[in-house]
Structure 1
Amino acid sequence: MSKNSETIKSLNQLLQGEYMAVESFNNFMSKLEDDNMKNSLKEVQKQHRENINTLASYIQDIGGQPHENLGMKGKMAEIKINMDLGLKVDTSEVIAKAIEGETQGVNMAEKVLRGNLDDKSRDIAGEILKNDRRSIEKLKNLM
C-alpha cells in the first residue's frame, strides 16, 4: 500500500467518525426539549460538519475518494445510541452520551495521528482533534 493510499485510508476513517458524530447529534437533539440545550448541541454538530468539509476536500486534493456515508459501523452505532437512550430521557443522560461519543472521536483522531501521515494530513487531523476536545469541554459545561 502506498503512503498516499495509507493516508487516504486513515483520513477516511476520521471522516467516517465525523459523519457518525453528525448523525449522533441528530439523535441527541431529537431527545431534548430544551431549546438552549439543542442550540448548544447544534454548535457542536456544526463543528463536525466543518470537519467533514475540510477532510473531504483534502482527501480529494491528494487524489482520494472521500467515503461520504456512515457505513455499517456507523449504522450499528446509531442503533446502539437509540437503544441506550430509549424514548424518554433526561437531559443529563443525553449530554453524557454526547460526551461519550466525542471522547470516542478524540480516541479515533489520536489513533489516526499516530499513523503514518504527511505533515499536512497530520495538521488537519490535529485540528480536528483540537476541535473535538473543545466540544467535550462545551458539553461538560452543560452538565
Structure 2
Amino acid sequence: MSSNLETIKSLNGLLQGEYMAVESFNNFISRLDDDSVKNVFQEVQKQHRENIHKLANYIQDIGGQPDENLGMKGTMGEIKLNMDLGSSSDTEEVVKKAIEGETKGINMAEKVLRGDLDDKSRDMAGEILEKDRKSIEKLKNLL
C-alpha cells in the first residue's frame, strides 16, 4: 500500500506542475499582442489542461485524491514570474520565460519518472513529459 501512496504523491506533484503551467500561461497570454503567438500559447495551455484531466482521472482510478490546488510553491512561482516580467509585454521575453517554465516542469517530471512508479504510472508520466517536450519545441519556433 505504501508504494501506491508514494505513486499518488508523485503523480500529485506532477499534477501541481501542470496546474502551475496553466496559471503561468494565463499570465503569458494576457501579455501577448501578436495573435499568432497567442494561438501557440493557447495550444500549449490546452495541452496542459488535457494533462490535468488525464492525471486527475488516473489518480482517482488508482484510489487517490487529486491535489487540485497550486499550493504555496505555485503561488510563490506566480509571484516570481510577475516580478520577473514586470509590466513587460515584449513577445520575445514572454516566450523565453515560457520556455524556462516548461523546462523546469520537464525537470520535475523527470524526477517523478525516476521515482518508485509502477509501469502504468511511469507510462502516464512519460507521455506527459513527451507532450511537454513538444510544447517547448513549439515555443522555440516562435523565437
Do both proteins adopt the same fold according to a TM-score greater than 0.5, normalized to the shorter chain? yes
> For residues 40 and 58 of structure 1, what CA distance do their matches in structure 2 show?
27
Deviation at 1:73, TM superposition (A): 0.3
With normalisation by structure 2, the TM-score equals 0.98
For 1:1-143, list aligned pairs within 5 A: 2-143=2-143
SS in 2 for 1:142: coil
> For residues 17 and 43 of structure 1, what CA distance do their matches in structure 2 show?
17
> For residues 122 and 88 of structure 1, what CA distance do their matches in structure 2 show?
38
> For residues 58 and 89 of structure 1, what CA distance do their matches in structure 2 show?
37
Deviation at 1:88, TM superposition (A): 2.7
Deviation at 1:36, TM superposition (A): 1.0
> For residues 134 and 54 of structure 1, what CA distance do their matches in structure 2 show?
17
SS in 1 for 2:87: coil
Structure 2, unpaired ranges of 5+: none
Structure 1, unpaired ranges of 5+: none
> For residues 82 and 70 of structure 1, what CA distance do their matches in structure 2 show?
16
Deviation at 1:96, TM superposition (A): 0.1
Q: Aligned residues: percent identity?
A: 78
With normalisation by structure 1, the TM-score equals 0.98
Q: Which amino acid aligns with 1:85?
A: L
Deviation at 1:35, TM superposition (A): 1.1
Deviation at 1:33, TM superposition (A): 0.8
Q: Which amino acid aligns with 2:14?
A: L
SS in 1 for 2:84: helix
RMSD: 0.8
> For residues 43 and 68 of structure 1, what CA distance do their matches in structure 2 show?
21
Q: Which amino acid aligns with 1:6?
A: E
How many residues matched?
143
> For residues 42 and 97 of structure 1, what CA distance do their matches in structure 2 show?
15
SS in 1 for 2:19: helix
